[in-house]
Structure 1
Amino acid sequence: MEREGLDWAPSFHPGSLEICLNLAGDGTVAGDGSSLRLTPGTCGFYVPGEAGLRARREAGGRHQFLTVELARPFLRTRLAASAERLHPVVRALVEEGPGKVGVGGVERLNPRQLELVRALRSPPVPRAARRLWYEARALDVLVECCFAPAADELFCQRQLRLQRDRVAEAIGILKRNLAEPPSLGKLAREVGVSPCYLSRTFSREMGVSLSQFLRRLRLDRAAELLRSGEYNVTEAAFEVGYNSLSHFSAAFHETFGICPGLYPLRAKPAAKGK
């Protein structure tokens, strides 16, 4: 990157809403008397409008970010009925047209948004289904980032939202550490609560205990590895943290109704014309 940084604005598209999920590097977006600054681990949104925006990625560091771009016709089709709850910048685009520039706020990426980023970078669906899957995830990003917070949010509602965020953060940690998951105590410390509170909250939110949820995460991942054809049963078991093949095979059969050695054959689509 050049010493003075990179002009980022030419990548923007008039008539659209752009949501930047910023993982690394610093950037600024400015226009119409307002601006936002993206630092690592934040997200922000903006509408380039007809006049355009000024934007720069700062020099001297590694940049990693994901941008979700939503055209006005797409937004109008899906948001016209709920426009009053949108952030004013997004609402202006939906109701008034694409001409006006707008810069929204910046917030820290929460656990749900970080999970969305990870999913968007590695979609867990067949290629034929990706367009529909990406559209659904784009709407998830929109919901997470662009609705104005309710002014009348009650204390109990806020507590429930915080609980869900902590559960989502715990799930993200487990997914990243299937082979060597943290203990309940360490997991609780990482999300900032007591072990008893995390265990109780997790069970209430997910309907199963932490250990049951981890078991299903491991088996689902093992099934995915077996379907890929790149892992045999032993490799898949060790990859997700099972040290005993007999325990892995029993758990796999109990969950999927078939032994792991035969699972790839059942999962493989039948050849055409047969």
Structure 2
Amino acid sequence: MTPFSAFSALHHTDIPLLLPNAWDHASASALAAQGFAAIGTTSLGVAAAAGLPDGTAATRDVTLLLARQLGRGAFLLSVDAEDGFHQDPDEVAELACELAEAGAVGINLEDGLASPQLHAAKISAVKAAAPDLFVNARTDTYWLGDGGHTETCRRLDAYQQAGADGVFVPGLSDAARITDLVKTLDVPLNILYSPLGPTVAQLGDLGVRRVSLGSLLYRRALGAALDAAADIRAGRPPRGVTPTYAEVQALSDADPQP
């Protein structure tokens, strides 16, 4: 089984693929050590760690560098590439080839509510140039827009017709709307986990086949660091789990392993 077929197969089981998102080598290694067979990257975490803004096509180089660091790990890697960091489909296809060469098996491409025709053209170009890269086509109708069902279906249909292997609707958590959307699709649906929304098991029952954690783990890590600093300043021992120096060093010294 090729890496592409193995990753694709994870989207076609009774249990949805839970995809945690890393932002550096250590976080990917730690997640792999917990047994996650597939790991994604988070564009917000990668951008923030590099001191760059997310969603502005500023992180192409750091995203590609991280893919090269992680792509040879013993897990399946999917890369969040914003909108492909370019409006030219050929440029996006070139990036896709570089990611595939780095060892990535998947790419996440968001439309940012831009023209669905343009986004479909990007998807087609990527699949033509890198057919063994799983394209997860994201629409931002709920993330940035008003969440109209008709417009969401129109965009997702265009993306699956263009060759997308899966589609992603972050910001959608209503069970009835998810159920209705699943009925219109021929490819797996990816939903962004929300602590206030359905559980992973409940999403699976609704027909969702992939659940991403997005930037949640990165933001939680920042929150834990702030809580620890506040505890120490207040004279309290820090709460939560603290890996030892040696444990972190081991993550940095070795290739990420599951």
Question: Fold conserved (TM > 0.5)?
Answer: no
**TM-score bucket (shorter structure):** under 0.3
Larger relative contact order (CA 8 Å, sep ≥ 6) = 2
Q: Mark the structure with the bigger radius of gyration.
A: 1
TM-score (norm 2): 0.24
